[in-house]
A and B are shown apart, each in its own frame.
Chain A
Amino acid sequence: MIATLLQLAGLFALLSMLAIGGGAGVLPDMQRAAVAHGWVTPHEFLQMFAISRAAPGPGSQIVVLIGQKAAGLAGAAVAFMAMFGPSSLIVFFTARFWHRAEHTAWRGLLERAMAPVAIGMTFASGLALLRNTEHSWTAYGVTLATMLAFAFTELHPFVMLGVGAAVLLAVGG
């Protein structure tokens, strides 16, 4: 139990520090590690990801579900602290300093360098989740349709999640 909690803390603290440009980019590594520890199957991970996207609040809340599955309430608490604690501390200590650096050259440089990295990570996470989770052809179709709908229309994500669930229920997996 204690060992599991320590593993949870170590994993999510590390992933949190790699999450440049948001939590979505670390999902492939999170899936790989959580599966390797035997906490979830790749398929369960995808379902938990769906739950965390459908529920209100930050998408990175998936860590709470994984922690809960691995080690109950204590696991959920540890996962939450590890994922959000260290990054919040960094923001707290840099907020005012950053604010004063509004027009400095180094700040512009950092922002320009970070944008393509974050965008690449976002694509990568979608591709890796597709690759690491067994998908039926229907599911591939749903993923493709969602990608286009989200990129080019203003349809609400919540509606899409519902439609996707209904389609798979109708086809039977």
Chain B
Amino acid sequence: MAFASVGMFSVGGALTAWIRREVVQRRDWLDDKQFLSGYALSQLIPGATNVNLAVFIGTLLRGLPGAVATLLGLTAFPVGLMLLVGALYLRASALPGGVLVGTALTGAGAVAVGLNLGMGIRLARLNIRRLVPAAIATVIALAIGVFGFRLLHVLLVMMPVSLLLAWWQGPEERP
């Protein structure tokens, strides 16, 4: 199925855009509204968003076989590649050039951390327009990122708080 090709080419976190291109634009399996609805659910349900999205699309299209096909299609090739790279990586430190590989990966790691922060900025600019959600996001970022609280504890407190405040504030008025 098409998800194999999606899995192969989606480098560096552009996976959602690729899935949309294949499923909505090229194959016409879903319309944009269905796609966005699936994307919202995929974020809401715990787990990797892209994998959830793939399972959502598979389920809507073909039920259980569809879900299994999209899950495996999306992950088979990348995971196989990952195992290969992982085996190389685990041996690299013992080789003569291993130090250089380590340095290069450290540089890429610094970039990867920056990508996370940049993604946070992007999402915040797109989705947060009011003070209360901004405050919730800030509290969570500081609690885990600076003060080192455990994610589980922070979520147990902040998820109910966020639900309550969202209910109290009501939907955003759209012009």
CA of A166 to CA of B7 in the docked complex: distance in angstroms? 27
Cross-chain contact B107 with A59 (CB below 8 angstroms): no
Given contacts A120-B136, A127-B117, 9 further A-B contacts (CB under 8 A): A90-B45, A91-B55, A99-B34, A116-B133, A125-B144, A126-B117, A147-B115, A147-B121, A165-B104
CB distance from A14 to the nearest CB of B (A): 8
Residue of A nearest to B121 (CB): A151
Q: Residue-by-residue, is A31-64 near B (CB-CB < 8 Å gives 1, otherwise 0)? A: 0000000000001001111111111111111001
Pick the contact of B116 from A95, A112, A118, A126 — CB < 8 Å? A126
Interface string of B40-66 (1 = CB under 8 A from A): 111111111111100110011000100
Asked if B48 and A119 sit within 8 Å, CB to CB, the answer is no
Inter-chain contact B122/A151, CB cutoff 8 Å: yes
Q: Mark B83-95, 1 if CB is under 8 A from A, else 0.
A: 1011101100000
Chain B interface residues (CB < 8 Å from chain A): 7-15, 34, 37-38, 40-52, 55-56, 59-60, 64, 67, 71, 74-75, 77-79, 81-83, 85-87, 89-90, 100, 102-125, 127-128, 132-134, 136-146, 148, 150-152, 155, 158-159, 162-163, 165-167, 169, 171-172
Contacts of B159 on A, CB cut-off 8 Å?
20, 113, 117
**B64, B71, B111, B117: which contacts A123 (Cβ < 8 A)?**
B117
| Shortest distance between the CB of B12 and any CB in chain A (Å) | 3
Q: How far is the CA of A160 from the CA of B112 in the complex (A)?
A: 9
Selected A-B contacts with CB under 8 Å, 27 pairs: A47-B102, A50-B111, A53-B13, A54-B112, A80-B79, A84-B75, A88-B52, A88-B55, A91-B42, A91-B67, A95-B38, A110-B163, A116-B162, A117-B162, A120-B137, A120-B139, A120-B141, A121-B144, A124-B142, A125-B144, A126-B145, A131-B146, A156-B14, A157-B13, A157-B14, A161-B12, A169-B104
B115 touches A125 (CB 8 A): no
Chain B residue at smallest Cβ distance from A33: B150
Q: Report yes or no: A168 in contact with B51, Cβ–Cβ below 8 A.
A: no
- A119→B42 contact, CB < 8 A: no
Chain A residues engaging chain B, CB cutoff 8 angstroms: 14, 16-29, 43, 46-61, 64-65, 68-69, 73, 76, 80, 83-84, 86-88, 90-92, 94-96, 98-99, 102, 108-131, 133, 135, 139-140, 142-151, 156-158, 160-169, 172-173
Chain A residues with CB below 8 A from B90, complex form: 68-69
Contacts of A114 in B (CB 8 A): 43-44, 162
